A = this chain, B = another copy of it.
Amino acid sequence: MVNVGVIGATGYVGIEIVRLLAGHPGIHITSVVSQSFAGQKISDIYPHLKNVFDMECESLDIDKIAGSADIFVTALPHGVSKEVIPRLIEKGKRVIDHSGDFRYKSVEVYEKWYGIRHEMPHLLDMAVYGLPEIYRERIKDAQIVGNPGCYPTCTLLGIAPLLANRLVDTKNIIVDAASGVTGAGRNTELAYQFCECSENFKAYKVAVHRHTSEIEQEMSLLAGEEVMISFTPHLAPMKRGMLATIYANLKTQKSTAELIHLYREYYRGEFFVRILGEGRLPETKHVAGSNFIDIGLVVDKRLNRVVVLSALDNLGKGAAGQAVQDLNIMCGLPEETGLGAPGLYL
């Protein structure tokens, strides 16, 4: 049994981590930290957990919680991390973090896109980008895992086989994606009010979303050349789920069947990546509630352009599920432990 602490347990990502770990046969949650709800039972804040996980939330006292666990998962508002993570590292703890802080190779890129100073540049060297399908080996021993953003996970797994095999022109890649509203977190802004979101669809942060830079960094590494993309996120009137529609011009003619074959080879043995057969397209309801990512693709022969569709649960494979997958890898557990449940569909 591995002991794990969750810091920032009452946000939407945090509580999904708690839900997953509460049913995990190899991991024991030793503490749930929430500044907002310290002293309250977590199941009083999230009553679906009543009788399942009733632990009391603690305020943040690193000295107190550090002793009880070896690994900490952090899902903190920006600005708080820098008070927490360095001290956990000093104490020899391992960390899976959900902010952008440990996802970047370059402090400059981070600072340009986030518009703030990076507070822990000295820790970047020990951080690994937590995308298991690409960095599994490095995650095993990582001190810090920067859990990827939801859009980057969805996009990168969708396009990785094309880039790694140098099949597409890297100058005209378009990523058009839609997310459910949980992507905005436990957030009381008017824009996320039911009456503002229901029966509405819109794009946001066109050409300036931070995840653009994270996607470009990893695409460039996959492609072996600098890649710049258009990335347009949209908000769809649903709670969970994300779909990325990715357009890329093929360098040579390929059929849909050939590319599906190539994807299946690339992801051979990957339990959570499901490559759909020809004529099948992913839907968010097939993955919502799970750690799966479904990928379908279509070659438009008229244009020699491939359209890749990839779907995941932004709280699952896009955040908490992936964190648990990383945790399994870090602990030497089978990767699907505690993550075998399919989504609900209905």
Is there contact, CB below 8 Å, between A342 and B201?
no
Does A9 touch B at the CB level, under 8 Å?
no
Contact indicator A206/B298 (Cβ below 8 Å): yes
Report Cα–Cα, A158/B298, bound state, in Å. Answer: 25
**With a CB–CB cut-off of 8 A, which chain B residues contact A309?**
202-203, 206
B238 touches A307 (CB 8 A): no
Interface membership of A124, Cβ < 8 A: no
Whether the pair B289, A289 counts as a contact (CB closer than 8 A) is yes
Tell me the smallest distance from the CB of A246 to a CB of chain B, in Å: 10
Cβ of A342: which chain B residues have Cβ within 8 Å of it? Answer: 19, 22, 48-50, 52-53
How long is the Cα–Cα vector from A340 to B307 in the complex, in angstroms?
Answer: 40
How far, in angstroms, from A206 to B283 measured CA to CA in the complex? 13
Q: Residue of B at shortest CB range from A336?
A: B51
Q: Is the CB of A12 within 8 A of B186?
A: no
Alpha-carbon distance A186/B345, docked complex (angstroms) = 13
The residues of B that contact A188 with a CB separation of less than 8 Å are 188-190, 193
Bound-state Cα–Cα, A236 to B180, Å: 11
Query: By CB atoms of chain B within 10 A, which of A23, A199, A284, A298 has the most?
Result: A199
Complex Cα spacing A340 to B51, Å: 9
Most interface-central of A204, A237, A276, A281 (chain B CB within 10 A): A237
Q: Would you give the 0/1 interface string for A292-320, flagging 1 where the beta carbon is closer than 8 Å to chain B?
A: 10100011101101010101000100000
Nearest chain B CB to A7's CB is how many angstroms away? 20
| Selected interface stretch from A75-83, A84-92, A171-179 | A171-179
* Cβ-defined contact, A193 with B195, below 8 A: no
- Shortest CB distance A198–B (Å): 5
Q: Which partner residue on chain B sits nearest A53 by CB separation?
A: B342
**Does A247 count as interface, using CB distance less than 8 angstroms?**
yes
Establish whether residues A206 and B307, one from each chain, have CB atoms under 8 Å apart when the complex forms. Answer: yes
Measured between C-beta atoms, what is the minimum distance from A168 to chain B in Å? 13
Having A186-B190, A186-B195, A188-B189, one finds 7 other A-B pairs with CB under 8 Å, namely A19-B344, A22-B342, A23-B341, A178-B236, A194-B198, A207-B299, A230-B303
13 contacts between A and B (CB under 8 A): A47-B280, A50-B342, A174-B176, A187-B193, A188-B193, A192-B195, A193-B193, A202-B283, A203-B245, A203-B307, A230-B247, A232-B245, A289-B344
